[in-house]
Structure 1
Amino acid sequence: MGIFSRTRDIVAANFADLVEKAEDPAKMIRMIILEMEETLVEVRASAARTIADQKEMRRHIAKLEGLQASWTEKAELALSKDREDLAKAALVERQKATDMADQLKAEVGVLDDALRASEEDIAKLQTRLREARTKQSSVQTRLESANNRVRLREMYAGAKTEDAFSRFDVLERRVDDAEGRAEAMGLGVQKTLEEEISDLRASDRVDAELAELKRRLNANSNREG
């Protein structure tokens, strides 16, 4: 079942209230716009049928007016020939054509009123459709902003970030231990060339591991952003 039952409901609708009460605001706005577009198509189709009916009636009116002129001419001819009976019969037929033309003109007038009402409805629907699309754009912008804030908060306060920094702490502690051992071993003892080179290699491995962890963290942050 649709949100609206007729054009009047759409014109009187409070979009803000409908959106605020909806569980999924974006979905509600899409539904509103879809139903409004469908209603607009229906109103335009109805207006098109009204215009077509008017054109057909005006063609009939033109034919009837031509028929009236023809019967008038025939009545005049009959009178000129002293055939009053024929003239009277011709005038009766002319009156029938006149009555039919008047009836069609009245129906055209009714259709004129209906067409004006349709034009007003179309204008109102178009205005409300623009409002709904503007509202849709606003809601989408707000949702995108909210999602971006969530991602940013996860980046600087999320579990992944906390875990990464805890690993940094462990690695830095390992560096501290390695440096401490190196310094302790060097107290009062002259290191051999082989020992000094070995210490450099150990320090390089820790530094490389720390650099690789930082690289992965930066890559993950860029993908999430």
Structure 2
Amino acid sequence: MGIFSRTRDIIAANFNDMLDKADDPAKMIRMIILEMEETLVEVRASAARTIADQKEMHRHVVKLDRLQADWGEKAQLALSKDREDLARAALVEKKKAGDMADQLKQEIAVLDDALRAYEEDIQKLQHRLREARSRQTAIAARLESAENRVKLRTLMSTERTDEALARFDQLERRVDYAEGRAEALRIADQSGTPSLADEIAALAGSDKIDEELEEMKRALGKDGASKED
């Protein structure tokens, strides 16, 4: 009965209350799962022993049934030989075998009830075990999330974070300085010796000016010729 009462206690246990009252919920759920796994192993082992006992009893019942038939045949033989005394003794033995067979059948019926109870308990324990493992996963996730939040807040509130941010500011200032120098150099290049592209562009512009000047000269030459006429 110990295994049954232990199983019933686990099946009826309220996980929520147990976890709420526990100082360490993660540790408590691990202990619950371990207890349930051990109990499940014990229940299955008890069920296996019960099945083995039941099979052995069935074999004895078969032997007793054969023994009854054998004593019945012997009683008939003795009676046919006018040995009523032997026939009566054979029937007495047949009855003994029958009584033993009936007793074993009653015990087999009791074991049938026990097996059904084992099967129900195993199913309930498996369900509760799945529930506990699911709770364990959820608790582990919540615990990890809480620890990460604590680490983040601790990191954000330490001097190391301030130092790191200050270093970022220094790096940004160095980048700004480098970009300023590059811009200054570009401006200096533009105000000094012209580049190859600038010289070529100037040549193209000079050609246009020469062409316009020639056009103006030709126009003046035509005007001068008209005055002489």
TM (normalized to structure 1)? 0.70
CA separation of 1:172 and 1:114: change in aligned 2, threshold 3 A: closer
Choose 1 or 2 for highest CA Rg.
Answer: 2
Partner of 2:20: 20
Distance 1:159 1:139 in 2: 32
**In the aligned structure 2, how far is the partner of 1:85 from the partner of 1:165?**
113
Deviation, 1:153, is 2.9
Q: TM-score, normalised by structure 2?
A: 0.69
What percent identity do the matched residue pairs reach?
A: 74
Match of 1:222 in 2: none
Amino acid at match of 2:153: R
The separation in 1 between residues aligned to 2:170 and 2:141, in whole angstroms, is: 41
Name the residue aligned to 1:215: none
1:118-168 deviations in Å (ceiling 9; x for gaps): 111111111100100000010011112122223333444433102333456
Matched pairs, number? 172
The offset of 1:169, in angstroms, is: 6.4
Partner Cα distance (1:91, 1:78) in 2: 10
Quote the residue 1:34 is aligned against: 34
1:159–1:12 CA distance, 2 compared to 1 (3 A): farther
Which consecutive residues of structure 1, in runs of 5 or more, have no partner in the other structure? 175-225
1:11 matches 2:11: yes
* 1:117 matches 2:120: no
Could you tell me how far 1:104 is from its partner in structure 2? 0.7
SS in 2 for 1:113: helix
Please give the residue correspondences for 1:182-201 in structure 2 after superposition, counting only pairs within 5 Å. none
* 1:48 matched residue in structure 2: 48
Instruction: Please name the residue that 1:145 is paired with.
Output: 145
Does residue 1:128 correspond to 2:128, yes or no? yes
Whether 1:164 and 2:141 are equivalent positions in the alignment is no
Q: 1:6 aligns to what SS in structure 2?
A: helix
State how far apart, in whole Å, the 2-side matches of 1:20 and 1:143 are: 14
Counterpart residue type for residue 151 of structure 1? K
Which residue is equivalent to 2:94? Answer: 94
Give the letter for the 1:45 counterpart.
Answer: A
Structure 2: 5+ residue stretches without partners: 175-229
1:23 counterpart SS class? coil
- AA aligned opposite 2:55: K
How far 1:97 moved relative to its partner? Answer: 0.3
